[in-house]
Chain A
Amino acid sequence: DSGVTQTPKHLITATGQRVTLRCSPRSGDLSVYWYQQSLDQGLQFLIQYYNGEERAKGNILERFSAQQFPDLHSELNLSSLELGDSALYFCASSAWRRTDTQYFGPGTRLTVL
């Protein structure tokens, strides 16, 4: 158990809908990262937050957004969902340095029908 929690574990929704994925980092970690894992793209970095502020952006679509709250939990919002958004979404957390080890949550499997 990495100490990172993600909810829900599975999510099935329809095209055009909006969903919110939630992540709680390990105790004491200030950074939260979101990744998308799909069969064709592999593990892709989406976005990073550090202590409530956006720190880095990867290949995140404009339809996706995230935030980190004062209690350091984070939410990833996916809107206008398309079939191609079906993937495993991981949250990871690390202490504070950019090179600190990232510990991953169990993931949320999103299926868009």
Chain B
Amino acid sequence: AQKVTQAQTEISVVEKEDVTLDCVYETRDTTYYLFWYKQPPSGELVFLIRRNSFDEQNEISGRYSWNFQKSTSSFNFTITASQVVDSAVYFCALTTAEADSGYSTLTFGKGTMLLVSP
């Protein structure tokens, strides 16, 4: 079975602060994919990033960066110089590529609500 844990239920920061959202995952599969999604107050789920288990290179996209560490089964997400528009619930998710082990589905963490105040 696979599991995603986002221990931080809610984080509040002031604009321009850096913030890191934690994600810890569990899977017995050697090939898997990790995702981050953003859910703003409007409700839609917006895809942010996908990373496979063989690529531990960190990624940066503008103010967003992701740190993937297989040794600690973590895939953390950092927002640099946060803005009010970053206020949202952020979900980490996991799916595996185990061949014909059944049908792989996306397992979500419970989400971290980020509140950025001006």
Chain A residues with a Cβ under 8 A of chain B? 2, 33, 42-43, 45, 48, 55-56, 58, 88, 90, 92, 97-99, 101-107, 109
Contact = CB atoms under 8 A, between A and B. Distances in A.
20 contacts: A2-B46, A33-B105, A42-B108, A42-B111, A43-B108, A43-B111, A45-B106, A45-B107, A56-B103, A56-B105, A58-B105, A88-B43, A99-B33, A99-B96, A99-B104, A101-B47, A101-B50, A102-B106, A107-B45, A109-B43
B45 A98 contact: no
Interface of B: 33, 35, 37, 43-47, 50, 91, 95-97, 102-108, 110-111
A6 to B, nearest CB: 10
Contact of A33 (B102, B106, B111): B106
The 7 closest A-B pairs by CB, nearest first: A56-B103, A104-B45, A43-B108, A98-B104, A106-B44, A45-B105, A99-B97
Contact of B103 (A2, A43, A55, A88): A55
A55 B105 CA distance: 10
A56 B102 contact: yes
B96 A101 contact: no
